[in-house]
Amino acid sequence: MKTTLLDESEQKLAQLSYSVIVEMEKEGKYKATVWGLPDCEVTGDTREAALKSINQLLTARLENAEVVVQEIALPKSENPWIKFAGMYKDNPLFNEMISEMEAYRREVDAEMEEYYRKMDAEEQNK
């Protein structure tokens, strides 16, 4: 995990962007809530008043706070099959096994081809 603290000059230049949900309430007032911070919520008579109040609330809240950026490295996940790759490369029976698999695949493909031909013929005879 890497933590970066902003120094004094960076803090003065830094700006914080945040998303605000503005909702009109039943009484005709507006409620503004900072997305992700449900405790940062204000109500105003107008949309602009609510946005101004939420800005003041956040400014006051951040006055005695610091912004810290943390980077967390994700664990490297290895493909679970990679440990088996090439494990039979020196086995003298490997090529024979591959040939048998290919022959079986051709046999199954031929059976399926015959099945589809029969199905097509039945469809045409209807």
> In the listed set 27, 46, 71, which residue is the last one of a domain according to the structure?
71
Residue with tokens 């591959």: 98
Q: Is the pLDDT of residue 18 over 90?
A: no
Residue 114 lies in a domain: yes
Q: Are 64 and 111 members of one domain?
A: no
Q: Are 64 and 91 members of one domain?
A: no
Q: Are 87 and 66 members of one domain?
A: no
Q: Are 56 and 97 members of one domain?
A: no
| Domains: count for the chain | 2
Q: Are 121 and 86 members of one domain?
A: yes
Average pLDDT estimate for 1-16: 55
Q: Is the pLDDT of residue 5 over 60?
A: no
Residue 18 lies in a domain: yes
Q: Which residue has the higher pLDDT, 7 or 86?
A: 86
Instruction: Specify the pLDDT at position 13.
Output: 47
Residue in 32, 8, 12, 36 with CA at minimum distance from that of residue 22: 32
Convert the pLDDT of each residue in 26-76 to its tens digit.
Answer: 889 999 999 988 889 999 999 999 999 999 998 888 888 887 878 888 888
Backbone angles phi, psi at 78, to 5 degrees: -95, 140
Residue with tokens 């079986």: 104
Which CATH number goes with the domain that contains 47?
3.30.160
37 pairs with which residues across the strands?
34
Residue 77 lies in a domain: no
CA 97 centroid distance within chain: 41
Q: Are 55 and 116 members of one domain?
A: no
Q: Are 49 and 10 members of one domain?
A: yes
Backbone angles phi, psi at 38, to 5 degrees: -60, -20
Q: Are 103 and 67 members of one domain?
A: no
68, 78 contact by CB (below 8 A): no
**Domain residues for 30?**
2-71
What is the pTM for the complete model shown? 0.47
Q: Are 58 and 17 members of one domain?
A: yes
Residue 45 lies in a domain: yes
Q: Is the pLDDT of residue 97 over 80?
A: yes
Q: Kindly report the CA angle at 51 between 47 and 54, in degrees rounded to 5?
A: 140
Q: Is the pLDDT of residue 3 over 70?
A: no
